[in-house]
């Protein structure tokens, strides 16, 4: 039992790292572009798109940012392949999912820590003139809040304890087996299609910003392409999600019904 008990702190550490990285990601994608104020370099200090392609001071940070994003996408995709999953399962056993989550969090931390803004770079759009300078950031802020609330509410539908690797360790310690083996075929089918059920909301966060500069455009484009290629829902998945949402909302309302009686 001692080795089994040692699995629990490892899974919890992975979960805490992932949770902290998620909080940092909210700051990186929403709070910094929305509440950070206008860039130091105004419209006159920025270069056009053609001039930017010849400016090393703009291309160098963009190349660094691209490398960081490719590192994250490569890690996230490579460790999700069946070959690597089988290898990590062989050596790490029930901690395979926790290891994947921890490595993903570390890769995302590298992206956020070493990301280089490009204040002098060109912009695709920018809200500076009134009344847009007031209303556009406010509208973006409202949409970001709604998007993050929707992301958090999806926790009602998806089994995030299993996605984060905690449930695997819990079931292993209690001798219950693999959590996915106990799920219905419809749930397994959905999980094979969409292990990241926050695509639309995340795309809203990436693109709906008052100023879309070169570095933000790179971030939004690459992650949009990655999400579009890697994930997709069909009608059967949507029916399953709707049924799961109704069931869990009913379970949440039952204590209130009991109190009302």
Output the pLDDT for position 261. 38
Nearest to 227 by CA among 201, 204, 199, 207: 199
Output the pLDDT for position 199. 77
Output the pLDDT for position 257. 46
Name beta bridge partners: 125: 212
On whether the CB atoms of residues 127 and 42 are closer than 8 A, the answer is no
* C-alpha distances in Å from residue 258, one per residue of 15, 114, 223, 245, 255: 34, 52, 45, 21, 5
Output the pLDDT for position 230. 63
Lowest mean pLDDT among 32-46, 82-96, 181-195: 181-195
On whether the CB atoms of residues 206 and 148 are closer than 8 A, the answer is no
The average confidence (pLDDT) of the chain is 80
Domain boundaries, the chain: 2-260
Output the pLDDT for position 146. 94
Percent over 90 (pLDDT), the chain:
38
Instruction: State how far the Cα of 202 lies from the Cα of 83, in Å rounded to an integer.
Output: 29
Tell me how long the chain is: 261
On whether the CB atoms of residues 139 and 209 are closer than 8 A, the answer is no
Nearest to 240 by CA among 164, 182, 162, 185: 185
Output the pLDDT for position 132. 84
Name, of 40-44, 171-175, 205-209, the range with top average pLDDT: 205-209
Residue 255 vs residue 142, higher pLDDT: 142
């Amino acid at each position: 039992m001692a080795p089994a008990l040692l699995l629990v702190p490892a899974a919890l550490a992975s979960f805490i790292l992932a949770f902290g990285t998620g909080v940092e990601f909210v700051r990186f994608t929403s709070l910094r572009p929305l509440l950070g104020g206008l860039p130091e370099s105004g419209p006159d200090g920025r270069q056009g798109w053609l001039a930017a392609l010849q400016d090393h001071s703009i291309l160098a940070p963009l190349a660094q940012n691209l490398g960081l994003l490719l590192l994250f996408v490569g890690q996230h995709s490579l460790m999700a392949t069946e070959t690597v999953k089988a290898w990590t399962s062989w050596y790490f056993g029930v901690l395979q999912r926790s290891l994947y989550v921890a490595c993903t969090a570390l890769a995302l931390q590298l992206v956020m820590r070493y990301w280089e803004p490009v204040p002098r770079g060109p912009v695709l759009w920018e809200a500076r003139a009134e009344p847009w300078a007031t209303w556009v950031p406010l509208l973006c802020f409202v949409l970001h809040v709604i998007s993050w609330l929707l992301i958090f509410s999806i926790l009602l539908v998806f089994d995030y304890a299993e996605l984060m690797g905690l449930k695997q360790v819990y079931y292993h310690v209690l001798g219950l087996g693999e959590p996915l083996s106990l799920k219905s075929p419809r749930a397994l089918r959905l999980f094979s299609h969409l292990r990241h059920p926050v695509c639309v909301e995340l795309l809203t966060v990436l693109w709906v910003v008052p100023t879309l500069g070169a570095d933000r455009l790179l971030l939004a484009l690459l992650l949009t392409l990655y999400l579009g290629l890697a994930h997709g829902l069909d009608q059967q998945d949507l029916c399953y999600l709707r049924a799961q949402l109704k069931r869990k909302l009913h379970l949440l309302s039952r204590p209130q019904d009991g109190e009302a009686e």
